[in-house]
Amino acid sequence: MASVLELKATVRPKGGKGAARASRRSGTVPGVIYGENKPPIMVQIDHAELRKRIYAGRFLTTLFHVDVDGTKHRVIPRDFQLDPVKDQPIHVDFLRVAEGALIRVKVAVHVLNAEQSPGVKRGGAVNIVTHTVLVMCPAESIPTSIDVDISDVDINHSKHLSDVKLPPNVRVIAQGDITLVTVVPPSGYAEELKAAADQAAAAAASAAAAAAAGTAPGAAAPAGGAAPAAGAAAAPAAGGAAKK
């Protein structure tokens, strides 16, 4: 069962952009808690604490008990915004989650055993094609990651979603058999393959030409004791009769 982390918040007295800016100036981050057919609660959270939680990783797949002025709300973060220049949190949204509720979450893809991959050993690079997979699962059983073992993946080969075994209570939401990870060739690999293929083809052509030349008509050396030329005059018979 996934652990539930603690987070403190206070109620924001007002909503709107002006109140949100005032919250940020005071060192807190404005946010909202909604869901379960209950009225939303406008909250503000300590900036340093929220930033630490976000940059610790897996923020959007972690359950929290948000203590709002003494009342705890069981939630999961649904979204957060960062300042485009400073990368500091400026807003956060939380969804209330009941015990045993099924939720949709995006789980990160994690590569295993890259150093054992024959493609990596030959100079290939690991390329994560799909960084997250959308799944449906109980809130208490959110996977830490989608683990992809590439210990048997060679250059120009891939691992797909069908190659990964998921926990029995985790269901992928209609994405098809997508490619998760591939091992791409190093720079110059295509040129090396072409050069090797051209060399092999040239060697095969040379061998074929040599074989053809060795079996051509008249190529064999004549046997010893060549026969006399055709039409040569026959030697006169010995002891021919004298003219009278």
What CATH number should be reported for the domain holding residue 17?
Answer: 2.40.240.10
pLDDT attached to residue 57: 92
CA distance 192 to 214: 33
Q: Are residues 105 and 167 in the same domain?
A: yes
Q: Is the pLDDT of residue 58 over 70?
A: yes
Q: Is the pLDDT of residue 232 over 50?
A: no
The answer to the question of residue 229 being in a domain is no
List b or e across 8-35, with b for residues whose CB sees 16 or more CB atoms inside 10 angstroms. Answer: ebeebeeeeeeebebbbeeebbbbbbeb
At 202, is the secondary structure helix, strand, or coil? helix
| CB of 29 closer than 8 Å to CB of 89 | yes
51 secondary structure, DSSP code: H
Last residue of a domain, one of 147, 176, 192: 192
Q: For the residues 125-142, what does the mean pLDDT come to?
A: 95
Q: Are residues 86 and 107 in the same domain?
A: no
Q: Is the pLDDT of residue 226 over 50?
A: no
Q: Is the pLDDT of residue 241 over 80?
A: no
What is the four-CA torsion angle of 131, 135, 141, 142, rounded to 10 degrees? Answer: 30
Q: Identify the domain containing residue 169 by its residue range.
A: 100-192
Radius of gyration of the chain (CA): 40
The answer to the question of residue 222 being in a domain is no
Percent of the chain with pLDDT over 70: 82
pLDDT class for 205, splitting at 50, 70, 90? confident
pLDDT class for 189, splitting at 50, 70, 90? low
CA distance 188 to 149: 26
Q: Is this model's pTM higher than 0.85 or not?
A: no
Per-residue pLDDT of 106-123, as tens digits, reads 999 999 999 999 999 999
Give the β-pairing of 102-112 and 125-128. unpaired
